[in-house]
Amino acid sequence: MRYHYKQPEFHIQIYGDLYICDHPVYKRCTLFKIGDKGLSVIQQRKIGKYTYWTEIDSWLCNDIYTHSKFKSYFDERARHIDDCGLYPTVTIRQIMWALKMKPLKRERWETVFDRKEI
């Protein structure tokens, strides 16, 4: 039994779109949208000594969107776009935890948001 979520050998991203915006924490995210409501999901990456937030890995999008608990999580968190062109945002770890999915392997350099919304 595996403890961490592993990338499949083959995948095709069907759900989730790349969304480019002017958020203070990130510039690109994965947007899950149903009707007029949307939810942004971000993942932290590292280059050298620096970290940044960006869209999630494409191989995770389908598994998150098709999860049995995703719709209720989406309905609870998703909102209409605000005046600044932003949707509510969660990290990949927050959504995986809420959906009771196995987590991604955590790196020492990763940071955590202590609030519900970003």
pLDDT tens per residue, range 29-49: 999 999 999 999 999 999 999
* pTM of the full structure: 0.87
The pLDDT value given to residue 7: 74
3-class secondary-structure state, position 61: helix
- The residue assigned the tokens 């990763």 is 110
Q: Where are the domains of the chain?
A: 17-98
pLDDT tens per residue, range 16-26: 999 999 999 99
∠15-20-26 over CA atoms, to 5°?
Answer: 105
Strands (E), the chain: 17-20, 28-34, 37-47, 50-54, 79-80, 89-91
